[in-house]
Amino acid sequence: MNKFSLFIVAIVLFSCNSNNSVKSNKLDPKIENSITTILRKMSIEEKVGQTCQITLDAILLKDSRNTLVEPHQIDENKLNQAIIDYNVGSILNVSNHTFSLKKWNSIIKDIQAVALKTNHKIPVIYGVDAIHGATYIKNSTLFPQEIGLAATWNLSHAKKMAEITAYETRASGVPWNFSPVLDLGRKPIWSRFFETLGEDVYLAKTFGTAIVDGYQGNQMIDSNHVVACLKHYVGYSYPSSGRDRTPSLIPNRTMEEYYLPPFKDAVDAGALTVMVNSGEVNGIPGHANKYLLTEVLKEKWGFIGFAVSDWEDFINLHKVAQTDSTLKDAIATAINAGVDMSMVPNNPEYKNYCNLLVELVREGRVSQKRLNDAVRRIIRVKYYANLFENSHSSSDIEYPKFGSEEFKKAAYNAASESVTLLKNNNDILPLSKDKSILVLGPTANSLNCLNGAWTHTWQGIDQSYNNSYPTIKEALEKKFKNVSFFEGSKMLMVNGDEADLLSKDLSNAVRAAKSSDVAIICVGELPSTERPGDIYSLDLPIEQQFIVKEISKTGIPIILVLVEGRPKIIREIEPLSNAILQAYLPGDQGGKVIADILAGDVIPSGKLPYTYPRHNGVLMYYDHKQSEVINANTWKNDFYNPQWDFGYGLSYSSFSYSNLKLSTNTLFSNDKLTVSVDVENTGEFKAKEVVQLYIRDHYASISPSLKKLKRFLKIELEVNETRTIEFSIGKDDLQFYGIGNNWITEDGKFSVMISNQSQDFNFKN
Ligand code: BGC
């Protein structure tokens, strides 16, 4: 391409850059024409390069022993080779480091400056895992992990988290975030349970779209927003063994009703990229599943963005799934299935990938049409991310709100609405500030435990990048006059499992208990994710349980604080605890939030986004069926007996529900049913409550769940205030995936249930 034609392409690209809505999922002819012009001029090698994603390490300087030079610096030769010789279209991540904003900006500028030297000046799209805030930037704002965010049951926190994360990520020059995780959390032992929005499809759908809205903004993705990436399409979160990246078995109906809808809604909301499931479903690896990637995602749903592989997953089709006997076959399988970009991501493997894909295209095993489609999608997203106009190569946009008090307050608010009060016998909480407090447990004095994995580093265990926020112990010391602290036990991971040790100071703690009014025992898990987070049992390690048992012998009341990404079994120590707080992984603000809740400065309002199991072996969900509740010992319908139910969470105040009314006894196909209910704050504190509406389908040709969440609303009520809440329900809320493999709504009896209120109605097609 000569300079003049390049200029024309640039003019066309830039001039159609207004008022375009990514939400419509409709293609803009002007953009498509511009892409066509570029595609016509690109060689096969240049196109293949666009589909290649490498990790930052692949272009960093290494010493003679092949280790990265500290502080990390770009190796210009490697950068030029990747971008100019191999036409690499995308770079990701950072290896076990958190960089300053300045460092990030210089990295991105260096990369984009080289991209501008290439034939077509196509900018690189840089992606990171900023999954609960801009996790790899120093002094960024860190929110609760997704499981905690879902526990707020407040969509405004989801949107705020995403907006702030987008702003801070974009401040570093990075325009693409590998978030949100929309895998359903229905396998609590899975190491990435905390990255999910919980077990319910409606909660995940509504939170997922709010997060996408926050990341991408309403229109074009401007310099305050990032491209979202829906992970991990689809069925990744339900491995039969519970271990990461192992096979899932998901029947078609369950796929349609549970696992696909959060992705479908987020695609409808305009999400521009998806990352593919690293595991396999029903024997078909995610990266080889043409039906899900091409027929469902792209053809049926009309997804206009691109699908990126997960880490090394083209290679893994050959090495791990063993569905392809050579790497070259694996690349053909994945690209032909519909994966558009390969997170190769290492050096020199990426060169091999590019060479093999060029060969495959020349041999006709990957068609030019498929390659063009993949590249068109990638360039389209670069266009929507506004990279052609602002690739950050010489950006001087200011981000004055980065790490601001305003942002910290938003993170604090989200964390404070996530923490869930599970037990509060005799209103022991809140505690008066003159109490003498014994704090102990392995999560009491750890900011890393409050944040979890994907914090500053992949596994989140490096302390060197921590911000200066208080741990639970430190926050309690600020709030209460008389605090003593003991560790009790140490958490360890040894040979791929939890192997905690009792600490020597436990006997001192028992002694100190005798002169304390109350013990606050903080238990939980070490940060971990993916394969390093695989464990053998959901049981809370016996050493942590032992702390509770020993302290309970002293007779002082116990407040148990759970700092955990997955619900650990606490059946034996629950009765020994007078109050229990589930903190999830609340982020940097967690210590302060927990202290404020314990002291009554914040009234808890979180609700469980999952069913908290009582036993390791019997895992049930709130939307179970009649057959699952029959108890063979009592022959009563009382077998569903989790530790706590989905949607459960107490307040320091209390609420009463009355007057549930339906606008009609019979709902017809095209009509709406208005449901209203009165909620009164009958307690002593102004407080927040989540009004949850469930529906029961009494008889259906596919055995129905006893209830399913269909609406929710978080409200705040003054003491004695009563508010009437209205919801609107339609035919779609009653549908299920029928015997004929299509969505249907059958005539018959349904119930609406809100808290202790219930009313029946009939549906008629
Ligand atoms: C994870 C993804 C992540 C990617 C890039 C993979 O190992 O499964 O969730 O986005 O790495 O860091």
Tell me, what CATH number does 469's domain have? 3.40.50.1700
pLDDT of residue 95: 82
Whether 341 and 436 share a structural domain: no
Ligand 1: atom nearest CA of 127 is 5
> What is the phi/psi pair of residue 140, to 5°?
-80, 175
Whether 292 and 232 share a structural domain: yes
Ligand 1: atom nearest CA of 195 is 9
Whether 345 and 478 share a structural domain: no
Given 3-state DSSP classes, what are the helix, strand and coil percentages for the chain, each rounded to the nearest 5? 35, 20, 45
Residue 456 and residue 135: Cα distance in Å, rounded?
A: 5
Closest residue to atom 2 of ligand 1, CA basis: 310
Lowest-confidence pick of 94-98, 327-331, 483-487: 94-98
Whether 351 and 433 share a structural domain: no
Residue 147 and residue 563: Cα distance in Å, rounded?
A: 12
pLDDT over 90 at 736, yes or no: yes
Residue 446 and residue 370: Cα distance in Å, rounded?
A: 50
Instruction: For residue 117, tell me if it sits in a domain.
Output: yes
Task: Report the pLDDT averaged over residues 186-196.
Answer: 98
* Domain count within the chain: 2
Task: Tell me the per-residue pLDDT of 649-668, one tens digit each, with 9 for 90 and over.
Answer: 999 999 999 999 999 999 99
Ligand 1 centroid to residue 129 C-alpha, Å: 7
pLDDT of residue 397: 83
Domain end, chosen from 537, 564, 599, is at: 599
CB 752 within 8 A of CB 759: yes
Instruction: For residue 190, tell me if it sits in a domain.
Output: yes
Whether 373 and 425 share a structural domain: no
Q: How far is CA 545 from the centre of its chain?
A: 29
Whether 108 and 223 share a structural domain: yes
Domain end, chosen from 599, 631, 646, is at: 599
Instruction: For residue 292, tell me if it sits in a domain.
Output: yes
Ligand 1 is surrounded, with C-beta below 6 A, by 92-93, 129, 178, 231, 275, 278, 310-311, 530
Query: What DSSP line would sit under 217-260, residue for residue?
Result: -SSS--TT--B-EEEEETTTT-BTTSSTT--B---HHHIIIIIS
pLDDT of residue 94: 86
Q: Which of 23-37, 560-574, 626-640 has the highest mean pLDDT?
A: 560-574
Residue 616 and residue 279: Cα distance in Å, rounded?
A: 24
Nearest CA among 281, 295, 186, 293 for reference residue 242: 186
Instruction: For residue 753, tell me if it sits in a domain.
Output: no
Task: Tell me the per-residue pLDDT of 529-538, one tens digit each, with 9 for 90 and over.
Answer: 999 999 999 9
Considering 28, 183, 200, 310, which one is annotated as catalytic? 310
Ligand 1 centroid to residue 614 C-alpha, Å: 31
CB 533 within 8 A of CB 566: no
Owner of token pair 């809205």: 213
Closest residue to atom 10 of ligand 1, CA basis: 178
Find the CATH number of the domain harbouring 316: 3.20.20.300
Instruction: For residue 59, tell me if it sits in a domain.
Output: yes
Strands (E), 105-182: 125-128, 176-177
Whether 123 and 259 share a structural domain: yes
Instruction: For residue 591, tell me if it sits in a domain.
Output: yes
Lowest-confidence pick of 205-209, 218-222, 236-240, 260-264: 218-222
Residue 297 and residue 230: Cα distance in Å, rounded?
A: 12
Nearby residues of 510 by Cβ (< 8 Å), 6 or more positions away: 550, 551, 553, 554
Ligand 1 centroid to residue 732 C-alpha, Å: 34
Ligand 1 centroid to residue 453 C-alpha, Å: 12
Query: What DSSP line would sit under 488-522, residue for residue?
Result: -EE--EETTEE--EE-TTHHHHHHHHTT-SEEEEE
State which of 192, 310, 314, 534 you would mutate to test the pocket of ligand 1, scoring each by most atoms of that ligand within 8 A of its C-beta.
310
Nearest CA among 590, 527, 526, 578 for reference residue 548: 578
Judge whether 268 counts as a catalytic residue.
Answer: no
Residue type, 615: H
Whether 340 and 459 share a structural domain: no
Residue type, 275: M
Instruction: For residue 408, tell me if it sits in a domain.
Output: no
Ligand 1 centroid to residue 311 C-alpha, Å: 6
Instruction: State the greatest distance between any 2 C-alpha atoms of the chain, in Å, as a whole number.
Output: 84
Whether 124 and 216 share a structural domain: yes
Closest residue to atom 6 of ligand 1, CA basis: 311
Whether 340 and 432 share a structural domain: no
What rounded mean pLDDT belongs to the chain? 95
Residue 651: which H helix or E strand, with range?
Answer: none
Instruction: For residue 115, tell me if it sits in a domain.
Output: yes
Residue 203 and residue 277: Cα distance in Å, rounded?
A: 21
Domain end, chosen from 557, 584, 599, is at: 599
pTM equals 0.96
Ligand 1: atom nearest CA of 232 is 9
* Integer CA distances (angstroms), 162 to 448, 651, 673, 704, 735, in order: 21, 27, 33, 35, 31
By residue range, what is the domain housing residue 83?
52-88+99-384
Helix (H, G, I), strand (E, B) or coil at 610: coil
Q: Is 392 left (phi over 0), alpha (psi -120 to 50) or beta?
A: left
Whether 271 and 169 share a structural domain: yes
Whether 123 and 221 share a structural domain: yes
